[in-house]
Amino acid sequence: MREDPPARFGAHTPPAEWLRTAAVLSPRTAALQTEASSFDYSDLAARTERLAVGLEGGGVGPGATIAVAVESARLIAHLVYATARLGAALLPLNPALPQAGRDELLARAAVTHMIAGPGIDTQLAGLRRVDPAPLLRLITAEA
């Protein structure tokens, strides 16, 4: 019987390292399942790497904090690993949060980039807004 990759790692294994190792040890084991699709560890690692490279090209790097307010659970799941790989932090936001509360949270968390769907605005100066559509293409395109 094959051991599930999560059982092979300690609690302090960084997520990016965990995913890379799982992709090598159990490349065809299901890693992420949605109603519409399923990804094995190898596929998840490859798509996440493409996303990390895309984010890096947009100025995301170590110490950055990315806020995300999108409805795509798939994008959020990939962002968890991509931001960890880049040494950045991820702050998921409730899209229903009123703008004033959202702006206060973004300021307190020192957010540098925001990935948000339509209708999610902020009044904060200096915040780089990232369109989620190209990021979704990075994780949905075939390798």
Please, what is the Cα angle at 110 between 118 and 76, to 5 degrees? Answer: 45
Q: Are 120 and 99 in contact (CB under 8 A)?
A: no
Rounded alpha-carbon distances, angstroms, from residue 111 to 43, 59, 65, 69, 105: 29, 13, 5, 13, 9
Strand ranges (DSSP E) for 6-127? Answer: 30-33, 38-40, 65-69, 89-92, 113-116
Strands 38-40 and 30-33, bridge-based pairing:
antiparallel
Which token pair is 3? Answer: 């051991």
Question: 24: which 2 tokens?
Answer: 């090598």
Q: Which pLDDT value is given to residue 49? A: 92
Tell me the pLDDT of the chain (143 aa) as tens digits.
455 555 566 667 788 888 888 889 989 998 888 777 788 999 889 989 999 999 998 889 999 999 888 878 888 888 999 999 999 999 998 878 888 888 888 889 998 888 887 777 666 656 677 777 777 777 676 65
What pLDDT is recorded for position 127? Answer: 67
The pLDDT of residue 1 is: 44
Token pair listed for 126: 């200096």
* pTM for this predicted structure: 0.78
